[in-house]
């Protein structure tokens, strides 16, 4: 059980492009375990490895509601193969941008290819919250944040607030 610290805006590591996983070894299995510990502790519905400072293409998701049993899902090297024309809007938040929630419009459905923890490839069609969450997490793997999908005015306001808070914390 290792809850690792979540990195927060404006940490420049959030802008890194994460590297593909080349071998699913004990290091990756430990990383995934720590990601779930950290995600459930937060709590959040998704986490990208870079949010705990590890620039590898690993995503964890659990969309189960509070009164439902846990439903952990792991996506290694996830790739979006296709996006629907139709879009949907969800109010998104991010553990790396605490207390900020904004509507984001994204493709409503995506086709995703990924590896599971056994290295076995899968292809799924995702819609609803899973489609939104996977797009949010795959964005993290590419150094993109949900605030990059909102107006520049709102984004700059948020960036300024977090830059100021970091400055204050540094004394
Ligand atoms: O916990 C999270 N909730 C959430 C809500 C709407 C859209 C995306 C998300 S993901 C977020 C956790 C997180 O920051 N993942 O990177
Ligand atoms: Ni996030």
Q: H or E element: which one contains 155?
A: helix 152-170
Q: What is the pLDDT of residue 106?
A: 98
11 C-alpha to ligand 2 centroid (Å): 13
The mean pLDDT of the chain is 98
CA separation, residue 138 to residues 46, 49, 143 (Å): 11, 11, 9
Residue pLDDT, tens place only, 43-79: 999 999 999 999 999 999 999 999 999 999 999 999 9
Q: What is the pLDDT of residue 41?
A: 98
47 C-alpha to ligand 2 centroid (Å): 6
Q: How confident is the model at residue 171 (pLDDT cuts 50, 70, 90)?
A: confident
d(CA 99, CA 95): 8
Q: What is the pLDDT of residue 134?
A: 98
d(CA 131, CA 115): 17
How many CB atoms sit inside 10 A of residue 88's CB? 16
Q: Is the CB of 140 under 6 A from ligand 1?
A: yes
Check: CB of residue 39 under 8 Å from CB of residue 70: no
> Which residue's alpha carbon is at the smallest distance from atom 6 of ligand 1?
92
Q: What is the pLDDT of residue 121?
A: 98
Domains annotated for the chain, with CATH where assigned, are 12-170 (3.90.45.10)
Q: What is the pLDDT of residue 1?
A: 79
Q: What mean pLDDT is predicted for residues 107-123?
A: 98
Q: Which two tokens stand for residue 161?
A: 């607030």
Residues written for the chain: 171
CB-side neighbour CA atoms (13 Å) of 40: 15
Residue pLDDT, tens place only, 123-148: 999 999 999 999 999 999 999 999 99
Closest C-alpha to 17, from 70, 71, 56: 56
Q: What is the pLDDT of residue 47?
A: 99
Catalytic residue of the set 33, 68, 86, 137: 137
d(CA 14, CA 81): 24
How many CB atoms sit inside 10 A of residue 119's CB? 12
What pTM was computed for the model?
Answer: 0.98
Q: What mean pLDDT is predicted for residues 14-20?
A: 98
Contacts of 47 (CB under 8 A, 6+ apart): 35, 38, 39, 59, 60, 61, 95, 137
């Amino acid at each position: 059980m290792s809850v690792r610290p979540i990195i927060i805006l404006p940490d420049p590591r959030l802008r890194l492009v994460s590297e593909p996983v080349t071998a699913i070894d004990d290091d990756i299995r430990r990383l995934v375990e720590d990601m779930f510990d950290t995600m459930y502790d937060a709590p959040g519905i998704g986490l990208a490895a870079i949010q705990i400072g590890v620039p590898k293409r690993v995503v964890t998701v659990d969309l189960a509601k509070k009164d439902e049993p846990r439903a952990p899902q792991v996506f290694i090297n996830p790739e979006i193969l296709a996006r629907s024309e139709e879009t949907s809007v969800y109010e998104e938040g991010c553990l790396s941008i605490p207390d900020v929630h904004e509507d984001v419009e994204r493709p409503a459905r995506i086709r995703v290819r990924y590896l599971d923890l056994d290295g076995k490839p899968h292809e799924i069609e995702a819609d609803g919250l899973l489609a939104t969450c996977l797009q949010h997490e795959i964005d993290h793997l590419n150094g993109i944040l949900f605030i990059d999908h909102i107006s520049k005015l709102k984004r700059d306001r948020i960036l300024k607030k977090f830059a100021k808070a970091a400055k204050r914390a540094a004394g």
